[in-house]
Chains A and B, each alone.
Chain A
Amino acid sequence: MSILLDQSSRVIVQGITGREGQFHTKNMLAAGTAVVGGVTPGKGGTEVEGLPVFDTVAQAKKATGANASCIFVPGLGAADAIMEAADAGIRLIVCISEFIPVLDMVRAMRLVREKQVRLIGPNCPGLCTPGVGKIGIIPYGIFREGHVGFISRSGTLTYEVVSLLTAAGIGQSTCVGIGGDPIIGTTFTDCLHLFEHDEQTSAVVMCGEIGGSDEEDAAEYIKQMSKPVVGFISGRTAPPGKRMGHAGAIISGNTGTAQGKVAALQAAGVPVADTIFDIPELLKQVAGKKL
């Protein structure tokens, strides 16, 4: 087994007729993902990659039996797309879109919580389960099936570290990019909890970054986990008060510093890699033969 994405996942793409939507639908299909249709208001009745396009998520769900959605809708409309999916009964929503106004996310998260839907992102690369498929934009070719669960706030850094793991012969169970915004649907702690209860996963790599306190909260949770976790924090040299690309990556006052996050993880017994190149070796030290 794996987390979030498995053989029963049937995926629709919201914003499927856009440039990004079309391109990544093709890639998701190539990775073996069961993409069953798409939604673009006003384009109902057309086709993309041989898949039916609907005007609304409810129509798409009814016709295809979809239970998951991948969102490529531009920022100002993305929170509405999340709410549409949640309201239609989609259980897993992966929102790739960036530049979503934060108050829109405040509203969307209320419905997501009320409907008890799993939202990954926004402003994230999505997730991938090697051997099953992917939802989102992560390049599928860098993975290898295995037992390491992977969680990161960032996209390209994820690709970088997964490539290092694969090159070191360490395979992955599921990889989740949780997103770089101040408000996200699924936190490090949520993912750690899922991996802790996943039979296929024997160890977890968690790549955090400056800003917020998700990593510190995760460190608290790790104290009660049975599986080993290896950490990495980027932004160690970032100056306070500067937004470092991600809306969530900003040090304000004493909160959100890399030093604080590293210390919290170490206090929870997590070895924290100085550079990403140390991650495979640390994994071997803590998980050994289970990899």
Chain B
Amino acid sequence: MKIHEYQAKDILSRYGIPIQPGKVAATPQEAEEIAREFGVPVVIKAQVYVGGRGKAGGIQFGDTPEQAREAASRVLGMNIKGLTVQKVLVVPKLEIKEEYYLGIVLDRKSQAPVAMVSAAGGVDIEEVAATTPEKIIRRLIDVDRGLPAYEARQILADAGVPSLVIAKGGTILSALAQAFIGSDAQLAEINPLALTVDGQVLAADAKILIDDNALSRQKEYAAWAEPEDANPIEYEAHAAGLASYVKLNGNIGIVANGAGLAMATLDMVARSGGQPANFYDFGGGAKAELLKKALLFLARDPDVKGILVNIFGGITRGEEVARGVIMAQAELPKGMPVVVRLSGTGEAEGRAMLADAGLTWGYDMRDGAQKIVAAIKERA
């Protein structure tokens, strides 16, 4: 789950990591009041779920409270990579002398979190990793032991972070590891960690991603979920209990059971000349009512011109699939083509029910994909 910068900083401060004072504003008026409360000059930072907001104009400055209000009115409502800015973080501007990078991610290969530090912070770390990987120092973290401060200091020293920053920076990196473990993060990043001209060391920006599978035990953070307006349909789907719904860019809705089969179905549709609009992974052993709900949800997306259902029944029964599609058919937009491909448990019964209801079925995945692509072309 993505969270905003101000929320990530909230988590970091709970672990004792210094951050700038400041508050979130939803209106220019609020931004002005915050600037008065905390003192000018201030920085106005767009709170959106994407990187690269600075280049997009989502970070602006105000030397007076009035300017803060004007800056906020420019940033609020701004569109950044398809997302509308609804909140800004207002913080006193720092006099930054140097910037460093501290990050922790899960390393799949070593099956442990890895701490990454670079003395070159404030930039795109993926770029640094690609061009000068030797400038990033990596060290695995033992999740039970955490990252003791002395180890953290050594990593910073190895990365070439100056002596002046080692003590404070080591404590911060150690705390970042605690925050990562304590919040079930998949990524926890401070970029930049700033050294100010007056010698403070603090997290000037932060990013945390929380493991979706852990949200049921991270209830406070789970409550921070909010719709991404680049993807309001996905948010709604998840809220409606269709957790595996994914929005794509084409015009064919796809229901399949199992993630691997769903991906292979998308590939097959593309190969047949179609473009998937979205997909829903129906999972195993699911019931007709859930399939109906999923189909109606898929069809609500205005991009969807037809739907392909691809089910290989193991525990999922063909009759349940057929019943779900037939139940949904009456409520789907008139004339919207639906092709059902059914194999495995109960396939004969399911196919007979579909034929009786006048629905098209595909012999296999390829046949199903070709039929839905053809049906949509025919209507266009």
Contact = CB atoms under 8 A, between A and B. Distances in A.
Contacts of A236: 267, 270
B281 A245 contact: yes
Nearest to B280: A245
B257 A244 contact: no
A132 interface: no
B315 to A, nearest CB: 7
Contact of B366 (A99, A163, A277): A277
Given A153-B260, A209-B260, A238 B266 contact: yes
Interface stretch (B35-43, B162-170, B207-215): B207-215
A274 B268 CA distance: 9
Contact of A275 (B268, B279, B281, B285): B268
A159 B263 contact: no
A273 B43 CA distance: 53
Interface residues of B, number: 51
A272 to B, nearest CB: 13
B263 A160 contact: no
B112 A106 contact: yes
A226 B297 CA distance: 50
Given A160-B261, A245-B263, A103 B181 contact: yes
Nearest to B264: A234
A246 B281 CA distance: 10
B126 interface: yes
Contacts of A138: 314
Interface in A245-291: 245-249, 253-254, 274-277
B166 to A, nearest CB: 28
B112 A180 contact: no
A103 B261 contact: no
A243 B345 CA distance: 29
B101 to A, nearest CB: 16
Contact of A237 (B184, B214, B267): B267
B109 interface: yes
A139 B186 contact: no
A23 B285 CA distance: 11
B261 A157 contact: yes
Contacts of A131: none
A137 B312 CA distance: 13
A107 interface: yes
The interface residues of chain B, by DSSP majority, are classed as mixed
Contact of A239 (B181, B248, B267, B281): B248
B57 to A, nearest CB: 22
Nearest to B261: A156
Given A245-B244, A246-B259, A105 B111 contact: yes
B283 to A, nearest CB: 9
Interface string B344-380: 1100000000000000000011100000000000000
Interface residues of A, number: 56
A88 interface: no
B174 interface: no
B246 interface: yes
B143 interface: yes
B312 A156 contact: yes
Contacts of B343: 160, 163
Contacts of A31: none
Nearest to A246: B259
Contacts of B55: none
Interface string B117-146: 000000000100010000000000001100
A76 B216 contact: yes
B28 interface: no
Given A101-B184, A137-B315, A212-B108, A244 B262 contact: yes
B233 interface: no
A243 B344 CA distance: 27
B111 A103 contact: no
B286 to A, nearest CB: 12
Contacts of A238: 263, 266
B202 interface: no
A175 interface: no
B256 interface: yes
Contacts of A2: none
A155 interface: yes
B62 interface: no
Nearest to A155: B258
B272 to A, nearest CB: 10
Contacts of B248: 239, 242
Contacts of B92: none
A142 B366 CA distance: 19
A182 B270 contact: no
Contacts of B306: none
B284 interface: yes
A170 B51 CA distance: 49
Contact of B260 (A106, A156, A243): A156
Interface string A145-156: 000000011111
A238 to B, nearest CB: 6
B260 A157 contact: yes
Contact of A157 (B258, B270, B276, B364): B258
A227 B261 CA distance: 27
A182 B260 contact: no
Interface in B30-70: none
Given A23-B315, A107-B143, A253-B126, A234 B214 contact: no
B365 to A, nearest CB: 7
Interface string B79-117: 000000000000000000000000000101101110000
Closest 7 CB pairs of A and B: A154-B260, A245-B259, A156-B258, A157-B260, A101-B214, A156-B261, A234-B263
Given A76-B216, A157-B261, A249-B259, 14 more contacts: A99-B213, A101-B217, A106-B113, A109-B111, A137-B315, A138-B314, A139-B314, A156-B314, A235-B263, A242-B246, A244-B259, A245-B246, A247-B212, A275-B268
7 contacts: A105-B111, A159-B344, A160-B365, A217-B109, A235-B267, A245-B259, A245-B260
